[in-house]
Amino acid sequence: MKTLKIIAIIIIVIVLLGFLTTWWLGLYTNVAVIDKQSGSYILVGEQFVGDYAKVGETMMNVDKKLKAAGINCHKGFGIYYDNPKVTPREKCRSFLGDVLEDRYFPRIEEIKSLGLKVDTVRQKQALIAEFPMRSRLSYFIGPMKVYPVMQKFADQNHYKYSLAMELYDVPLKKIFYIMQYEK
């Protein structure tokens, strides 16, 4: 009888810890989509073709090159051109890197000499949702939670996406999902 109580307590503790961990990671977060202007970013990065789950190395490579040049960015980004539900994972295209801060604009030519691409996202109407960035798992849980809600909103309003971007705001510890669209 005593052994059964101990086993029951252990099971309850494991279930409770599992629930608290998934809650902390944002699994139960309600996703709110807002429709507003977004953009006017200068982006520095590299192209990547392959499974979106493997983009981390490219992002770290860009950050490493910039830091070696004395350029410290506090926001990362990923622009994802293909829907992995339609395009084979090994053929999915993306552009990944850092959002360049205003103080580094005079160094754009130097940044290009590092082998990095510099691009701009102009300001445009977009659907935006946010998700907490609490661990590396946030980069996997966020898309599962956010994209279906954004797609439903877009379908209901007859919007067609022109850009799918994730903005990783390290100081705010949030991931912003930005979907610029056409009506």
DSSP β-ladder status, 160-169 and 93-99? unpaired
Longest Cα–Cα distance of the chain, Å, equals 74
Per the confidence metrics, is the pTM higher than 0.85?
Answer: yes
- Nearest CA to 94 out of 122, 141, 62, 135 is that of 62
Boundaries of domain holding 38: 34-182
Q: Are residues 127 and 62 in the same domain?
A: yes
CATH number at residue 48: 3.20.80.10
Which neighbouring-strand residues pair with 77? 97, 167
Query: What residues have CB less than 8 Å from 20, skipping those under 6 apart?
Result: none
Q: Are residues 22 and 64 in the same domain?
A: no
What is the full per-residue pLDDT of the chain (183 aa) written as tens digits?
788 888 888 888 899 888 888 888 787 888 999 999 998 999 999 999 999 989 999 999 999 999 999 999 999 999 999 988 899 999 999 999 999 999 999 999 999 999 999 999 999 999 999 999 998 888 889 999 999 999 999 999 999 888 899 999 999 999 999 999 887
How many structural domains compose the chain?
A: 2
